[in-house]
Amino acid sequence: MEYRYINTDYLESVSGGDNSVIAEIIEMFREQAAEMYNEMEKLLSMNSYHHLGLLAHKAKSSVAIMGMADLASMLKTFELEAKDGRNTGNYEGYVRRFRDDTNEAIKELDDLILTKKL
């Protein structure tokens, strides 16, 4: 499988090539991505933009460790806009992209788990 969302080289580097560490990172990411998406939806519905910006900052760190540079860059934009309450019409799209990209990344990570027998 060709990985379009995750960067396995970066994941290998961060983990020191330790398969048990990779498996642990993947499981944490799976849990955090779902929790963050649910929280983003909640904050968006409440128009709690500053808190949404803080969460985008936290999410940026989580996706960066998976080597998801494009999504991390989008989350940086989201963070800055939301903290200032600018361009609020973009927020729903940002949240949707976070959900879609992390879901695709999880599929790739599942394949990585099977391939590496983690």
* This prediction's pTM: 0.93
- pLDDT value at 117 more than 80: no
- pLDDT value at 12 more than 70: yes
- pLDDT value at 118 more than 70: no
> Could you tell me the residue ranges of all domains in the chain?
8-113
User: For 21-25, 40-44, 50-54, 87-91, which range has the lowest pLDDT when averaged over its residues?
Assistant: 21-25
Q: What distance in Å separates the CA atoms of residue 72 and residue 75, rounded to the nearest whole number?
A: 5
pLDDT of residue 14: 87
pLDDT band at 66 (very low <50, low <70, confident <90, very high): very high
Token pair, residue 7, equals 């960067």
Query: Averaged over 48-61, what is the pLDDT?
Result: 97
Burial (CB count <10 Å: 0-12, 13-18, 19+), residue 67: buried
pLDDT of residue 1: 85
Q: What distance in Å separates the CA atoms of residue 7 and residue 109, rounded to the nearest whole number?
A: 10
pLDDT of residue 17: 87
Question: Are 35 and 71 in contact, with CB atoms under 8 Å apart?
Answer: no
